[in-house]
Structure 1
Amino acid sequence: MNAQLEEIREQQKQSWNKFSSGWKKWDQLTMDFLHPMGQSIIASIQPSGNNRILDIAAGTGEPGLTIAGMLNGGKVVMTDVAEDMLAIARANAAQRGITNIETAVCDVCELPFDNDYFDAVSCRFGFMFFPDMQLAAKEMARVLKPGGRVATSVWNVPDKNFWVTAMMGTIAKNMELPPPPPGAPGMFRCCKPGMMKAIFENAGFKNIQEEEVTTTLNAGTAEVYWNMMTEVGAPIVAALSKADDAMRQKIKSEVFELINSRYPEGKVAVEGSALVISAIK
C-alpha cells in the first residue's frame, strides 16, 4: 500500500479510536438507527449452523453479535482498524453472553486470513472509509469461499439523509469548509449510482443486488440529536472545532430551529437512507 493510502488508514484508526467513547455512550440510539441495514445484510448472507462469518468494520459489534447469536457451532470474526471500538464490541458480547466471536485489529486491504476461509462476509458502513475500496472488495473475495455471500451497506445520497445534512448543511452555510480531496473517505463517497456494483464486479463477484433501506434516528428531542451528533460525528466535531464560541452557538441555534420546525416537540425522528449491496463469489 502506498504512503497516501497508509496515511488515510492511520487517520481512520486515530479518528475511530478517538470517538469510541462517544459511540459507547450513544450505542443504543445509534444501533437502533443502524438496525434496519444490519437486518438487510443478515438476510442477504443467510448465516446459520457452523458457518464461519467475517464481520468487517465491526465497530461496537453489530451486526456481528446478532449474527453470532444465530449460529450453532459457528463463529464470527470481527475486524476493525480501531482497537478501542473492538474493545466495546467484546464488552457488548460479554454482556449478552455471546462467546462464539473473535476480534482482530486489521486493515480490510490486508486481511490476515487464508483464501476461501469464510462462508460469508458482512460489512455495515465500512466501505466509505476504506483507503482503497477496490482492494478491500478483492480481499473480501479472496477470503470468501466459492459460493459464499457478501453484503455491505453504504449511505445513500445526501438528499435522503437529513440526519446528517441537517448538521453539515448548517455548518457549511455558516463556515468556509475546504472541499475534501477527490475520492477521500467520507459519508457519501459511495452513493453514486452503480459505483458499488462496479467495485463488486471488478472484484469478481456475481449475482450482485442493490436495495434501498430506510431508517429513522429516533432522537426524541433536538437536544439529544445535537449531543449525539457532536459526540460521534468526526466531520462535525472537526468542523465545529474551527468555530469560535459565538459561531458554534449560532450553528447550534439554527440546527435546533431546523429540527424543531420539521418535527413535533419530543418526536424528533430524523430520516436516513442507505444502499445494501449483496453478491455471491
Structure 2
Amino acid sequence: MNTFEEAKTQTTHAYNAAADLFDHPANSFWNRFGSSTVARLNLVPGEHVLDVCSGTGASALPAAIKVGPQGKVVAVDLADKLLAEAKSKAEAKNIRNLEFRAGDMLSLGYPDAAFDAVVCVFGIFFVPDMEAAVRELWRNVRPGGRLAITTWGENLFEPASSHFWQAVRAERPELYQGFNPWDRISNPEELGAMLAGAGLSWADITYEQAVHLLSTPEDWWTLAMGSGYRGTLDQLEPDQLQRVKESNLSRLEAESVNAIEANVIYAVIDKP
C-alpha cells in the first residue's frame, strides 16, 4: 500500500468511527468554521459548488442555501457515515440541491472548470502531496471562480491536545504523535508557500485567533471521540482507553481548563 492509500485508509476509518459524535454540541466548531468559510466566498444564487472533505455538511449545507434551488453543491468525503449524517440534515432542512458522493479529492473525474467555487475545510493536510491536491482542486474551478481552503492554525486544541498525547504515550508509546498532518501548514507563511508551490501565489490568506469553549472537561473527551483523534483511541484496549481518559480529564480539571485554542487560517484564491 502506498503512502497516499495508507493515509486515505486511516483517515476514512477514523472519521467513520467518529461519525456518532461528530455533530455533538461539544463539537460545534465544525459548523462554526464551515459557515465562516462559505461566507468568505460571496456565493450567489445559481452557482455550482464542489465541497471536498465535507464531513457532515458544515460548509456544504450553508453553501447550498446560498446558491439556492437553481444552484448545486456536490459534497464529497471519504467517510460514507459522515455523508449519511449530512444527507439526513439536508433532508430535515428540505435542502434539495445537494449531491453526496463518497470519494477522494484526487480522483473525482469532473471536467476542467466545472464549478464556480471549490471548498476544502480541514482536509487538504490529509493528502501527503498537498500541492498536487491543490492543483487538482484548482483544475475544477472555472475562470472567474474561486477556491477556498481552510486549515488549522498553530497550537490546535491546546492545552488539551498535549495532555491527550502524553496520556496516549504512557499507555502505547508507538501510537504517540509528536507531529500532526495539519502542522505542515499551521501558519500563514507555510500555507502561502504550499499554495505558491501549487502555482497559486496570490491567495488572500487570513489568520483568525479563536478558542473553543468547554463547559466541562468531558466536552474535550467528546471532541476527541468525535474527531480525527478517534483513529488513535480505537487502537487502545478498553482498560487503556479508560486510563487515557481519566488522565486527560484529570489534568484539565486540575488546571481549570474551560477553553482550548482553535486558531484557523482561511485562504481564498480567485481564478483569473
Report if TM-score (shorter chain) is over 0.5: yes
Which of 48, 51, 59 does residue 47 from structure 2 map onto? 51
Does the Cα contact within 8 Å between 2:49 and 2:73 map onto a contact in 1?
A: yes
Root-mean-square deviation over aligned CA pairs: 2.8
Shift of 1:134: 1.5
Number of equivalent positions: 270
Aligned: 1:253 with 2:250: no
1:276 paired residue number:
266
The C-alpha deviation readout for 1:50-86, integer Å capped at 9, x for no partner, is 1111111001011110111112321111111122211
- Shift, 1:141, TM fit: 0.7
Equivalent residue number for residue 7 of structure 1:
6
8 Å contact 1:58–1:124 — kept in the other structure?
A: yes
CA contact (8 A) 1:36 1:213 kept: no
Is 2:207 the counterpart of 1:212? yes
Q: Distance in 1 between matches of 2:255 and 2:177?
A: 29
Aligned to 1:67: 63
Matched residue type, 1:257:
S
How far apart are 1:108 and its partner, in Å? Answer: 0.8
Q: Which residue of 2 aligns with 1:238?
A: 232
Contact 1:13-1:82 within 8 A present in 2 as well? yes
The DSSP-based 3-state class of the residue aligned with 1:108 is coil
Q: Give unmatched runs, 5+ long, in structure 2.
A: none
Worse-superposed segment, 156-165 or 66-75 = 156-165
Are the structure 2 counterparts of residues 169 and 279 from structure 1 closer, same or farther at C-alpha, using a change threshold of 3 Å?
A: farther
Conservation of the 8 A alpha-carbon contact between 1:127 and 1:190: no
**Aligned partners of 2:201, 2:75: CA distance in 1, in Å?**
24
Secondary structure of the residue that 1:151 maps to in structure 2? strand
TM-score, length-normalised on structure 2? 0.85
Alpha-carbon offset, residue 181 of structure 1: 10
- 1:89-128 superposed matches below 5 A: 89-128=86-125
Identity of aligned residues (%): 24
**CA 1:201–1:187 in 2, change beyond 3 Å: closer, same or farther?**
closer
AA matched with 1:195:
E
Q: Which runs of 5+ in 1 are unaligned?
A: none
Question: What SS is found at the alignment partner of 1:22?
Answer: coil
Between 60-69 and 147-156, report the one with greater CA deviation: 147-156
User: 2:96 is aligned with what amino acid?
Assistant: T
Deviation at 1:237, TM superposition (A): 5.4
CA offsets per residue over residues 97-117 of structure 1, 9 Å max, x none? 111111112211122211011
Structure 1 distance, partners of 2:230, 2:9, is 19
Q: Which amino acid aligns with 1:39?
A: S
CA distance in 1, matches of 2:9, 2:234: 22
Report the CA distance shift for 1:163/1:64 in structure 2 as closer, same or farther (over 3 A). farther
Tell me the distance in 1 between the aligned counterparts of 2:176 and 2:217. 28
Which 4+ runs in 1 deviate beyond 4 A? 178-182, 247-250
Q: What is the rounded CA distance, in whole Å, between the counterparts of 1:181 and 1:225 in structure 2?
A: 19
CA distance in 2, matches of 1:152, 1:169: 30
Compared CA separation, residues 160 and 87, structure 1 to 2 (3 A): closer
Note closer, same or farther for the CA distance 1:203–1:147 as it changes in structure 2 (3 Å cut). farther
Distance 1:173 1:240, change over 3 A: farther
Give the Cα separation in 1 of the matches to 2:218 and 2:7.
Answer: 33
> Distance between the aligned counterparts of 1:159 and 1:121, measured in 2?
25
TM value normalised by structure 1: 0.83
